Amino acid sequence: MDAIVSALLLLLHVLTGSSSATGTETASTHQLLATLLTAPAAGLQPGSSVAPGSGTAPFVPADDSSGSGTGAAFVKHDPQPDAPKVKGVYVTAYSAGGARLDSLLKLLDDTELNSMVIDVKDDNGYITYPSTNPELLRYGKPQKFIRDLPALMAKLDKHKVYPIGRIVVFKDTVLAKSHPELSFRRKDGSIWSNGNGDSFVNAYRKEVWDYNIAVAKEAAKMGFKEIQFDYVRFPEGFENKAASLVFDKTKDSRVDTIAAFVKYAKAQLEPLGVRVSVDIFGYAASVPAAEGIGQDFVKISKNVDVISPMIYPSHYGTGWFGVKDPDTNPYATIAGAMKDTHKKLDPIGSYKPVIRPWIQDFTASWLGKGHYIAYGKPQVDAQIKALHESGVDEYLLWNAGNRYTADAKF
């Protein structure tokens, strides 16, 4: 019966159709996007048909997500209806596969924290565990950061940890270098990379979609309850680079292309009984759609089970939410970010996903003297308090070194 219901739900979907920052989205990137995201959203382009074998992503009609409708005629199906209220921490593959794991498990055993977000495909594009799956080996490069994934999953289950698999999608230097045709090339044929040396793969290419979804499907079969997609976007400032780069594309806008990928991934993964979540810039809740990078907060939110805005106080510029230096006032910054988040998502009614923000458990010393404060128990508590007061009970803590504040009021 469950299989029949899942098949019907999938058919319904088809027919009705982030360093010490988050998902290693760095502070400098966020500052840049503070400007990029304020650009007016361009008019949506109609979908284009794509010839079989062209490799470019097919047009998947996204639901109307202008926010004007209530979504009352639609009831979103949660494939994990018995999931706990998630209070989690980010865990690198190195920590998950190494000695750090035991101390992190003790942290969860001793506190109200109950979840780990673990890298399955990391920021470089490496698959973090040995895999013999031909779909993954065609484009990916498995590593042994987590030498025994089944043993890890068994250990997490023993400690009652809700496991979330993080997959970095379109920032993928490994795939860009091995398959330049799936990336963005300069006119001389070389692979484009950003100032940090990272390369992205082309979100218009369906091969890229299916590869990342294949990674997600294997993670689901290994026991992950939720798949969290990060870097679900085009490169920062892409609208200023596109004309000088060589890449395949359709007539669809970047916003529609990203929204279509998310919807497609949800339809593919829901029958497996896993949730789909997406990390998105915190700024996206406060400004119009970011046509340059293809992120529209509402369009993405309507097609996921969980949305995780990255609302680190350190990543908001001077004056946001009436605060001169947001990093120095975590309570006011989180309260302001949540007010904007609800303003964006409340109008979509039953399409509204679980809101589970990333919050800050690191010190942003790079901001310079007077613009940051050391983060510890008072600052983490302040962020959680602001979330609770806004009606949000779920959150994820980010610290790139996986060292977390054990005595916070989780």
Contact 79, 267 (CB under 8 A): no
pLDDT in tens, 253-293: 999 999 999 999 999 999 999 999 999 999 889 988 888 99
Query: In terms of Cα–Cα distance, which of 17, 2, 150, 166 is closest to 81?
Result: 2
| Complete domains list, the chain, with CATH | 2-41+65-398 (3.20.20.80)
Q: Is 227 helix (H, G, I), strand (E, B) or coil?
A: strand
- Cα separation, 35 vs 309, whole angstroms: 17
pLDDT of amino acid 227: 98
| Ramachandran bin of 370, using left for φ above 0, alpha for ψ from -120 to 50, beta for the remaining angles | left
Spans of the chain below 70 pLDDT: 1-74
pLDDT of amino acid 36: 41
Instruction: Specify the pTM.
Output: 0.85
